[in-house]
Amino acid sequence: MQSIARCRCCAHHMCHSQWLICAPSLETTKQHVPFQAVGILQENAQKVQKRLINKPRHPAELAADIVERVLVTGGDRYLDTKYHTLSWWQLSLLDVKLFLTAAAMLVIALIGGLLWLLIKLLMSGLKAWYNTQHRPQTAHKKTS
């Protein structure tokens, strides 16, 4: 017999006594997880939080260093994007679109050719089978 228990945080009825706590992972829905898994979830969340918080420098300092590097180097060519050196067909990704279109057409042609060959073989086999099964039985008369 299953024991009926209530969640500690939202008072939902649950079938098993091991499901005793809700993990409010999403604000709109509460997801019921086993009581044992809550500790594991908390440990993983703390590890991720430490990784996100552990930044050697503040983002404002990093941005200031990048701006300072640009000013010191005078905005050298290696800092420029390649956008200005590309031609119009590279910017519009025309080469990629044409390649994908050609590849798709090749695949469609191969599938169509294989289907045509399969249908042709099936039709010739059915025709041969039909001719052997439904050949009119005529009596051969000897003529002398």
Q: pLDDT per residue over 102-139, tens digit each?
A: 999 999 999 999 999 999 999 998 888 888 877 766 66
Taking only the tens place, the pLDDT of each residue in 55-88 is 778 889 989 998 898 888 887 777 778 888 888 8
Model pLDDT, residue 17: 45
Domain-wise residue ranges, the chain: 1-54, 86-133
Spatial distance between the Cα atoms of 8 and 141, rounded to a whole number of angstroms: 100
pTM value surpassing 0.85: no
Model pLDDT, residue 141: 64
Contacts of 95 (CB under 8 A, 6+ apart): 89
